[in-house]
Amino acid sequence: MDGKIAIEEHFVTPELEDLVLNPGWSPEAFRAVLDRLEDFEGERLRIMDRHGIETAVLSLASDGIQGIAEPAEASARSRQANDALASIVAARPDRFAGFAAVALQDPAAAAAEAERAVHELGFRGVLVNGYSNAADPSGAGLYYDDERFLPFWEAIERLRVPFCLHPRNPLESQRAIYDGRPELLGPTWAFGVETASHALRLIVSGLFDRFPSLTVILGHLGEGLPFATNRLEQRLRRRADVTLERLPAQVLRENFHVSVSGNYHTASLIGVLLELGADRVMFAADHPFEDVADGADWFDSVPIAEADREKIGRLNAQRLLRL
């Protein structure tokens, strides 16, 4: 399919390299990934052309801003990242768009930066790499269902742009279950569990009752959540301490969109289409962390209706991101 829009495509610049997680690659292999993240004129465009991707929506690679413990530094570097991305998009507005990085270490500053990024830099939404590191030495993580983030969510709803919850690894203090099995950290497994759990914290906190038009995008076909709602709901319903107006399946269908990034499995896609509908699924290639050919070749031939391929490949992102 030509004219695809890919919505989870990553970048970095030489000044921001220290913010990219190396999930266990050799220094040479990691350098090659950084070089691909920093390329906006060469191989990246050739790969997009070869695989029918017209527009890549770029975002800072994980952990990005979220791994910075000091709030003022995190805010300053989010502005630096957004200014850099705005220049990259301005050089090729026909091929690139951007998601803003925000520093939720300071929720008020994050709201102000989201507003600047959308209104002044023309960004299409914000993308956050999981919980933010806390400044205090507890080593805790800041999850966004906490009350302190309500002004930020209010700003995102008011701006009418989507919030992408992109993965990062669990807190150092929460990794015991992976001891001796580093191959399960990162995108193999831990990214998905961490991100699904964070999204569920948002859902069961009642955030979407409070802000009914808030829109969240998850990658990787929704990190397994579309297949977990039956069990979640039949247990949540039995709890007197749960007073949600809408339970997870309904919130997923009304407030969430998912992309296919890194999860090119036909049965899963069909399950997600049955659960969320074809208006809430979008194409993404996760360049350069995934091989674009894997996602694009699968997507171009996956047995779904051509009208749904057009929606998922292009039309849904065009509408949601106002491209």
Please report, as ranges, the residues that interact with Zn ion according to CB under 5 A.
8, 286
Cα angle value 218/222/224 (rounded, 5°) = 145
Residue 222 interacts with which of ligand GRE, Zn ion, none, CB < 5 to 8 Å by class: none
- Contact between 36 and ligand GRE by CB under 6 A: the answer reads no
Closest approach of ligand GRE to the CB of residue 208, in Å: 25
Rounded CA gap, 134 and 19, in Å? 16
Nearer of residues 67 and 248 to ligand GRE, judged by Cβ = 67
Closest approach of ligand GRE to the CB of residue 200, in Å: 20
Q: Are the C-beta atoms of 38 and 316 separated by less than 8 Å?
A: no
Chosen residue from 1, 17, 23, 227 binding ligand GRE by CB under 6 A? 23
Nearer of residues 82 and 263 to Zn ion, judged by Cβ = 263
Active site residue 106: no
- Contact between 187 and ligand GRE by CB under 6 A: the answer reads yes
Rounded CA gap, 57 and 246, in Å? 31
Q: Are the C-beta atoms of 283 and 260 separated by less than 8 Å?
A: yes
Q: Which residue has the tokens 């292999």?
A: 29
Chosen residue from 21, 69, 88, 244 binding ligand GRE by CB under 6 A? 21
Choose, from 39, 106, 145, 286, the residue flagged as catalytic. Answer: 286
Nearer of residues 29 and 72 to Zn ion, judged by Cβ = 29
Helix ranges (H only) for the chain are 27-37, 43-50, 71-91, 107-119, 150-159, 190-204, 207-210, 229-236, 248-255, 266-276, 292-301, 306-310, 316-320
Closest approach of Zn ion to the CB of residue 261, in Å: 6
Chosen residue from 106, 194, 275, 286 binding ligand GRE by CB under 6 A? 286
Closest approach of ligand GRE to the CB of residue 186, in Å: 6
Rounded CA gap, 85 and 16, in Å? 11
Cβ atoms within 10 A of the Cβ of 250, count? 15
- Contact between 285 and ligand GRE by CB under 6 A: the answer reads no
Provide the b/e sequence for 53-90 (b: ≥16 CB within 10 Å). Answer: bbbbbbbbbbbbbbbbeebeebbebbbebbebbbebbe
The residue number with the shortest CB distance to Zn ion is: 286
Nearer of residues 286 and 308 to ligand GRE, judged by Cβ = 286
Nearer of residues 175 and 253 to ligand GRE, judged by Cβ = 175
**Positions marked catalytic:** 286
